[in-house]
Chains A and B, each alone.
Chain A
Amino acid sequence: QLQLQESGPGLVKPSETLSLTCTVSGDSITTTTYYWAWIRQPPGEGLEWIGSIFYTGATYYNPSLKSRVTISKDTSENQFSLRLSSVAAADTAVYYCARHATHGWCDYWGQGTLVAVSS
């Protein structure tokens, strides 16, 4: 059974960089069939796609966040990671990692991790 688990600090100071890791079990992130994505949800709000990475290492990002986002992978650990720079209070959200198909639907999600941006 595929499982994804987010990990990282729950509190980040304004202007610093948010870093999260998603550990995947039950499937390899080198699969040629799926992408691996980060999606966030501010408290009480809707879902926002942040970006995705393919097994080749190719990435694509939400244009509204592109200048601040980096997604990378570590195939030896079967993990992929998110870095979001210059964070502000508006970046406070539950961050989810997920697997998604070429046509975009996310069939497996992590449980999510709340990251608060505050001094």
Chain B
Amino acid sequence: QSVLTQPPSVSAAPGQKVTISCSGSSSSIGSNYVSWYQQLPGTAPKLLIYETNNRPSGIPDRFSASKSGTSATLDISGLQTGDEADYYCGTWDSSLRAHVFGGGTKLTVL
């Protein structure tokens, strides 16, 4: 059971937009930065978003994120087949005193 809750799967057609949610608590998302990772099959996770809504160099602006209260969202627009992957949110939990991750969301581009 992950500390952060994500939907197990989402799907959308190429060119469309999809939103992945990440629900936490006041001690996790509510009071700390959120990060997002993309994990392609058989590879290590790759940082997509840091400090809740910032993209590292090389990440296209099709990927954006935000936070409201104890929940965060990752938006992916202009979907491509190459975006099919597992997506994870992460943050620090001040109560648990641990870095925590969501259970992951599998994105299917139909």
Which A residues have a C-beta under 8 Å from some C-beta of B? Answer: 37, 45-49, 52, 60, 62-64, 96, 100-101, 103-107, 109-112
Mark B residues whose CB is within 8 Å of A: 2, 32-33, 35, 37, 43-47, 50-51, 56, 88, 90-92, 96-104
Docked-complex contact A106 and B96, CB < 8 angstroms: no
Beyond contacts A104-B92, A107-B47, A109-B46: 17 other A-B pairs, Cβ-Cβ < 8 A, are A37-B99, A46-B103, A47-B37, A48-B101, A64-B98, A100-B99, A101-B50, A103-B51, A103-B92, A104-B33, A104-B90, A104-B91, A107-B50, A107-B56, A109-B44, A110-B44, A112-B44
- Sample of 24 A–B contacts (CB below 8 Å): A46-B88, A47-B37, A49-B101, A63-B96, A63-B97, A63-B98, A64-B98, A103-B32, A103-B33, A103-B50, A103-B51, A104-B33, A105-B35, A105-B47, A105-B50, A105-B90, A106-B35, A106-B37, A106-B47, A107-B47, A109-B45, A111-B43, A111-B44, A112-B44
Known contacts A104-B91, A105-B51, A105-B90; A47/B101 CB under 8 A: yes
Residues of A within 8 A of B51 (CB): 103, 105
